[in-house]
Amino acid sequence: MPSNKSVSDAPIVQFTNCRILRDHRLQREDLWVREGKILNPEKLFFDEKGSADVQLDCKDSIIAPGFIDVQINGGFGVDFSLATDDFKSGIDLVSQKILSHGVTSFCPTLVTSPPSVYHQILPQISVRNGGAHGAGILGAHLEGPFISKEKKGAHPEHCLRTFEAGAFQDLLATYGSLNGVQIVTLAPEMRRSSEVIQELTKRGICVSLGHSVANLSQAEEAVQHGATFITHLFNAMLPFHHRDPGIVGLLTSDKIPAGRRVFYGMISDGIHTNPAALRIAHRAHPKGLVLVTDAIAGMGLAPGRHTLGQQVVEIDGLNTYIAGTKTLSGSVATMDTCVRHFQEATGCSAETALEAASLHPAQLLGIEHKKGTLNYDSDADFLMLNDSLYVQATYIAGEEVWRQDVSGM
């Protein structure tokens, strides 16, 4: 037999004494990494006759895929919906800081804004791999402005828009470009939304339903046209009603096309959703739950006044409100906190909690062949965690990019 020995001389790193999250369970195995990818040790031994160049003792840590945050509005004083001269350095700062939360990839999220803001900001958001400089950028999440006035939440009413005669052309004119856009949140009850959903889906853009007063049949129709996500379930939508459960009813709908899964985001911060509601959603549709932070510029900062796009928001403890009101506006939660709260609130396994922040968002975006798992040949973006799911170290492409210092700071 001809040898399959790789021509690569890149070092092979073997992570030992660990439990790896693979195939939905923690398995006591070693993790092998080369050139930023996860290796199949059998191929390495039998085909290449290779062995590890470096062995790292993980001291019985859990190794899990890196977290993926598909809805984050900013953090550390940076607001992704504000067009500033140093926007790029702001996005770099956030991508660097969230490494300590276990986030290895994210979708910078823009809330409802005037067209001029999209035209200025979107060309500055480029899809890029993560590394020592920070978490990778998967593309922008545009939350609005094609949303319901009744359920606008913290979105400024004067910037809301509807689809006019041009429908998809209206959307293009508003955003300026769809380059680097990964997710669009819209209200499916809006006139002509079906053709917009089809056009976005055709371009590989994930359509999410949110900030909406849609009834269940309108939501089901949107899914039949290609929508696959629900933006922060329960928040900014009609409350569940037994005769018409609205968007929430998608979790158990029998009108979802065969082979399609509807995913739903949840802000598991103990504030946006009562633990009982979190449990109801999880028990109804466990494989669709995607943890999101919906974090705003004030995440990581002291309480006080901060911005969310065009609005001033006030942080009071873990609550964030539009200044002078009791309207919730995003969160200041970190992804690792959301994972721990989710596990505590639902009593689910560590595996389930970790997959809600890694595998499920990767499946939502159709990138599970390279992110969100520790399968062979996938990207070596992973975390070391202790049994209480506190992040000890973050790796991107097999390189350590953050580690908790020994003093626990």
Q: Residue 97, by phi and psi: left (phi above 0), alpha (psi -120 to 50) or beta?
A: alpha
- Stated as kind and residue range, the H or E segment containing 335 is helix 335-346
**Residue 345 counted as an annotated binding residue:** no
Q: How far is CA 92 from the centre of its chain?
A: 17
**Residue 154 counted as an annotated binding residue:** yes
- Stated as kind and residue range, the H or E segment containing 26 is strand 25-28
**Residue 329 counted as an annotated binding residue:** yes
Report the SS3 class of residue 324. coil
The four Cα atoms 345, 346, 350, 356 give a dihedral, to 10 degrees, of: -100
Kindly report the number of other CB atoms within 10 A of residue 157's CB atom: 9
**Residue 158 counted as an annotated binding residue:** no
| Active site positions, annotated | 294
**Residue 211 counted as an annotated binding residue:** yes
Handedness of CA 239, 70, 292, 283 (dihedral sign): positive
CB 380 within 8 A of CB 131: no
Helix, strand, coil share (%) of the chain residues, nearest 5: 25, 30, 45
Report the SS3 class of residue 389. coil
- Backbone φ and ψ of 135, nearest 5°: -65, 150
Q: Rounded to an integer, what distance in angstroms lies between the CA atom of residue 208 and that of residue 246?
A: 15
**Residue 101 counted as an annotated binding residue:** no
Q: Rounded to an integer, what distance in angstroms lies between the CA atom of residue 232 and that of residue 265?
A: 5
Contacts of 33 (CB under 8 A, 6+ apart): 12, 13, 15, 39, 380, 398
**Residue 119 counted as an annotated binding residue:** no
**Residue 277 counted as an annotated binding residue:** no
- In residues, how long is the chain? 409
Per-residue buried b or exposed e for 110-145, using 16+ beta carbons within 10 Å of the residue's own CB: bbbbbeebbbbbbebbeeeebbeebbbbbbbbbbbb
Look up residue 35 and give its two tokens. Answer: 């050139």
Q: Rounded to an integer, what distance in angstroms lies between the CA atom of residue 339 and that of residue 350?
A: 9
**Residue 236 counted as an annotated binding residue:** yes
Handedness of CA 268, 272, 275, 281 (dihedral sign): negative
Report the SS3 class of residue 80. coil
Annotated binding-site members for substrate:
154, 235-236, 243, 272, 328-330
Annotated binding-site members for Zn(2+):
143, 211, 232
Annotated binding-site members:
143, 154, 211, 232, 235-236, 243, 272, 328-330
